[in-house]
Amino acid sequence: MHLSVNGQRCYVASGGQPFAVRGADDAHDPPVVLVHGAANDHDAWLGVADALVAAGQRVLVPDLPGHGRSEGSPLRSIEALADWLAALLDTAGIAQAVLAGHSMGSLVALECAARHRQRVTRLALLGSSVPMPVADALLGQATDAPDQVCRMITRYSASDHFLRTGGKRGHGIWGPGLMLAIMRRSRPGVLAVDLANCNDYQNGLCAAAQVHCPSLIIVARRDRMTPRRNLPPLLSALRAPERIELADCGHGMMGEQPAAVASALLAFITGGKIPVTAGQ
């Protein structure tokens, strides 16, 4: 579906099902808003969103401004994206929501949960690191050689196992190729802006200290983009976060192990028991 957010047309996927606005009832049954990462769009969450909807959850997966099917230019700070996300909730008539963000999207979700605490009932951070420095090799070439950077990111976002086998999607779909294709179709300049946003964001630990809702961190054991050794500051800043580690999985966890990601999110949303490790 399409919504008008801050005067610009925004595309929002809903897992193949019509999205029902429930207003005040969102406090008892909040929808799940999934926020994509740099140079990505709603399709990065496809397998996870479908699984959540199949389990009875209401799901919204927006294309951030300038990404996917959404109009406008990419916003140039994590703070601006966080306020845009709150505006999206207003436009959709959502009083409260569960936020889940991946990579750059995790920073957006974190900042939104700190700035708009009354709107966020639960917060899930996937493939996150605070701060989230970006390698000079990626920043320096993102404008002039974006395809080369997309290839590098894809390579370092996938575990060796995923690169060898291509995943379990079947029907001739090679998982890493799908991840690359989503990045390649982003508009000129989007990749450079997104990577700069990640690199420049310095408020993450302060934002984490202001989050009052339950939180979950999903970390991939083979993540080379936001490795787990970078997690201690974020874990210390959040209030008693839950944590799950996906075995033999890379940064692009929604593509590698969508079932494990969806299962962890579902347990977190419904208050179920979250295992310490999951996946292959």
DSSP codes, 64-79: PTTSTT--SPPPSSHH
Helices 104-115 and 190-200, axial angle in degrees (round to 10): 60
Cα 131 from Cα 98, distance rounded (Å): 23
Q: What is the CATH number of domain 2-279?
A: 3.40.50.1820
Tens-digit pLDDT profile for residues 56-80:
999 999 999 999 999 999 999 999 9
Tens-digit pLDDT profile for residues 170-190:
545 689 999 999 999 999 999
pLDDT of amino acid 275:
76
Cα 79 from Cα 220, distance rounded (Å): 26
pLDDT of amino acid 273:
79
pLDDT of amino acid 170:
55
Peptide bond into 275 cis (omega under 30): no
Please check whether residue 95 is in contact with residue 24, taking contact to mean a CB–CB distance below 8 angstroms: yes
Domain spans in the chain, listed from the N-terminal domain onward: 2-279
> N- to C-terminal Cα distance for the chain?
34
pLDDT of amino acid 229:
93
Q: Which amino acid is at 26?
A: D
Q: What's the maximum distance between 2 C-alpha atoms anywhere in the chain?
A: 48
Please check whether residue 219 is in contact with residue 195, taking contact to mean a CB–CB distance below 8 angstroms: no
Distances (CA, A) of 241 to 117, 130, 148, 176, 209: 16, 14, 36, 30, 11
Q: 10 forms bridges with which residues in the sheet? A: 3
DSSP 59: E
Q: Which amino acid is at 123?
A: L
- pTM for this model (two decimals): 0.95
Query: What is the phi/psi pair of residue 222, to 5°?
Result: -100, 20
Please check whether residue 24 is in contact with residue 69, taking contact to mean a CB–CB distance below 8 angstroms: no
Q: Got the DSSP string for 189-204?
A: THHHHHHHHHHH---H
Asked if residue 25 has pLDDT above 80, the reply is no
